[in-house]
Amino acid sequence: MKLNMMHRSNQAWIENRKIALHNAKEKEHQIVHDVVDLMIIVLDSPLQKRRNKAYNIEKLERKMRHNQNHLNTLADLAVLYRNSNLPDQAAIIEEQIDTILKRSDPNDIIEKAICVLEQGYAALFEEYTENGLEAQQRLLESVRLINVEQRTAVGQKKDVLNRALNYTMEARRLLFQALNYKTNVSFFDKNSSVELLKKGFQYLSNTSYPKEKYYIWNFYYAMACSRMPDIEVATSGNTSISEKAVNLFWSVIKNLSKDNECFTIYRARSYAYIGHILISTNKPSIAYPKYSSLNNDKQFQSLLTTPLSSFEYATNELADDEVVLSREGISLWLMFKFGPGVKNIKHLEKAERKLSFSISQNPLMRRIDFSTRMKVYLEMFSLKQFSLDKREDLLKKALEDGETSIKHNLNAKDVCTVAEICQRLAKFPKFYLYGPEAVSNNEYLHAALDYLNQCVNAKGQNYFTSFTFGVIYFDLGEFRTASKWHKRAFMISNRKKGNGNIKQLLFSILKMGEGSHVYDELIHVLTCIARKWKDVEFLRDVVPKVHGEDYVRSLSKFLIFLQTYPLTAQQVEIAECLKAMLIKKDFFTADQFGVSQYKTSTTHDFEYDMKPESVLQRVQMEINSAGVQQSWRYDYFVIMSKVNSGWIQCFLQHQLSIQMIDGDRTFTGFPGIDYESCSSLLETTIDGINKSRKSILVLSKDLLTREWCLLKTIFTETLKKRSDSICIILLENCDVPSEIDYKHLLYFDFTDEMTIPFEIQHLKLALLNDC
């Protein structure tokens, strides 16, 4: 009764899961029928429905007749008795469970083993259901609903709702951190299918449990391992989890008799899983694992040499099995996509046939096959040997499969692939060109945005969705929005992903025009990239010739602009590297630029030379109370160091000022602080606080070293009069001044660049408060 699936709200998902369970009961061995029955009971009649409790109890009591000691049935029955106000019956059942668990009788030990093995089997259906993401989005919906209530509330009710809103936003932020805490330990927690099945085998180690049944459970243990990320198993030295899975599947093949028909499905699927694992985990640059324990097994060594032959063995065991067909289709696509040597179109054609046959047998169950067939059609589309009409037809088939796939399972990578297909259809036949000039049908691009919005609203953003948003908006000619999405993608990218995204980011910015506001933004972006990668080598790949003369002309004007712009030492290095790259690629000669002379930035050397007390005496420091001004001119005002102002404007304020997804709010910020003198710094800061609904203090080492001595008095005065209007951003790890009790203020952590896009979304939620 503790299955996560009973808490799922997606009825389509529940119905598909029920079909899968009935299919399993029809095809799989008798030893899993008990646990399948219990899972079906959970799906048919969740505990929340009182009218179904009596019916559930009756079904469980009937199941008890053929095995009075079946622990999982007993446990579920005890739960239902207690939830039906039958504590005496529940106590009897719980006492029976306790007795079985304490006894050391061989039959009771086997019952304990079966109990854990069944839980491991059930967990196979629980892995990667993304309940955490669903919970995060439900919290987001709660934030929106509380906001609606708060707008009409007054007095104490409004105060309580405000606290509820803050707590809900904090819960969402903490949940996000938890979802991103991924280690080997979290993959192998005590409730994972791998650990449960492993524990069950430990119970069976010294029992007389039938050998055949033991190896059927071994098949499910192998399945559990095959579904885990390919990381090293802590208890197995250097053995990867995929290698462990292959060894387990091979033990199933070797130990289940070929003469017994009820074992055929396990032998056939084991061959198929082995072939798929060998192909999917070994790219051309990596040698196949040695599998030292199987060095003397000639048949296995033959599979290592030609892994596709695994599917011939599988088909000989069991023809037309949907799982075998599916794994073979996926493997053939992988062989074409990543395999060594010349691409073999026969792999794609055979993959399409295998996947189509698998889908025809059970369309509702083969969701993954729709996803893979979509990719097969997309690969076939890329082959120039087909006519344009044929290629357009392949794209439309790919789109149809993609839409079917995400209808049943909203997977972010599938949504991005569907968006890519829409993009190519929108530009057909100019599908390899970039920009709105190539687009002939905007409807496909708007459809792509609909799918992306649906995905982000349901599951949050990641690198792939952010990058795909950027390229779609670029083709729509909305270059400002495109650049914002590419900035988000860059922030949550690693170096491998980031380099391709950087090109798109620069194209988007330069497409916005030619002027100081564009070039100012571009130098701050390039500085941020150089700081993240710790070098300027990325500049050597940012000018592909496909983008032509306009792009190169814009870069040359940008270089001329930099000669009039105060640059830091790192920015001078960026300018020189970009100049050298343009000359090296023969776009310009050194003479055309002449000898570069750059103005040196004094930002880091600037010191406020007057004592704060003397300046404050000459500046009227009056912070308005919350009730003084009800109609604010600006949504927010950012208090920051001059050193960080370029980054804050480029990566934070632009993000706040634009609608990123459907239903997103935009916010207007105070124009900025004047840093030219102590007086102007104080005057513009006070003006910004008084005219803005929220004040955002960006804490950094530079702020604390330079501006804080002057701003401290203003900030403490604001805390006294309008503490609920203050948000804190920790831009980098530094000693927080004693005047700032940031633990009791709205607080956003920007110290990890990978989480900044998500913290910006949380900041947007905070700015919605009291709108």
Read off the pLDDT of residues 255-265 as tens digits, 9 standing for 90 and up: 999 999 999 99
Is there a contact between 501 and 468 (Cβ–Cβ < 8 Å)?
A: no
Q: Which residue has the higher pLDDT, 670 or 619?
A: 670
pLDDT for the residue 586: 67
Dist CA 763 CA 771 (whole Å): 13
DSSP 171-222: HHHHHHHHHT---HHHHT-TTSHHHHHHHHHHHHTTS---HHHHHHHHHHHH
Q: Is the pLDDT of residue 525 over 70?
A: yes
Q: Which of 8, 350, 724, 742 is nearest to 18 (CA)?
A: 8
Q: How confident is the model at residue 463 (pLDDT cuts 50, 70, 90)?
A: very high
Residues of the chain with CATH 3.40.50.10140: 634-768
Dist CA 304 CA 297 (whole Å): 11
Q: b/e per residue, 331-344, with b = 16+ CB within 10 A?
A: bbbbbbeebeeeee
Using CB atoms within 10 A of its CB, is residue 417 exposed (0-12), middle (13-18) or buried (19+)?
buried
Counted residue by residue, the chain has a size of 771
Measured in Å, how far apart are the chain's first and last C-alpha atoms? 43
The 10s digit of each residue's pLDDT in 238-250 is 567 888 899 999 9
The whole-number average pLDDT for the span 601-607 is: 59
Q: Is the pLDDT of residue 584 over 90?
A: no
Q: Is the pLDDT of residue 764 over 90?
A: no
pLDDT for the residue 184: 44
Q: Is the pLDDT of residue 203 over 70?
A: yes
Q: Which residue has the higher pLDDT, 743 or 222?
A: 222
The residue assigned the tokens 């330079």 is 706
Dist CA 53 CA 76 (whole Å): 11
Most confidently predicted of 303-307, 412-416, 596-600: 412-416
Q: Which residue has the higher pLDDT, 688 or 758?
A: 688
Q: Is the pLDDT of residue 719 over 60?
A: yes
Dist CA 283 CA 506 (whole Å): 32
Q: How confident is the model at residue 434 (pLDDT cuts 50, 70, 90)?
A: confident
At the fourth CATH level, the homologous superfamily of domain 634-768 is Toll/interleukin-1 receptor homology (TIR) domain (3.40.50.10140)
Q: What's the mean pLDDT when you consider all of the chain?
A: 85
The residue assigned the tokens 């899975």 is 245
Choose the weakest-confidence range: 67-76, 271-280, 475-484, 538-547.
Answer: 538-547
Q: How confident is the model at residue 624 (pLDDT cuts 50, 70, 90)?
A: confident
Q: What are phi and psi of 102, to 5 degrees?
A: -85, -25
- For residue 698, what is the enclosing H or E element? strand 692-699
Dist CA 533 CA 521 (whole Å): 19
pLDDT for the residue 331: 95
Supply 489's token pair.
């993608």
How far does Cα 551 stand from its chain's mean position? Answer: 33
CB atoms within 10 A of CB 517: 9
pLDDT for the residue 10: 64
Q: Is the pLDDT of residue 635 over 90?
A: yes
The 10s digit of each residue's pLDDT in 285-301 is 444 556 767 878 899 98
pLDDT for the residue 285: 40
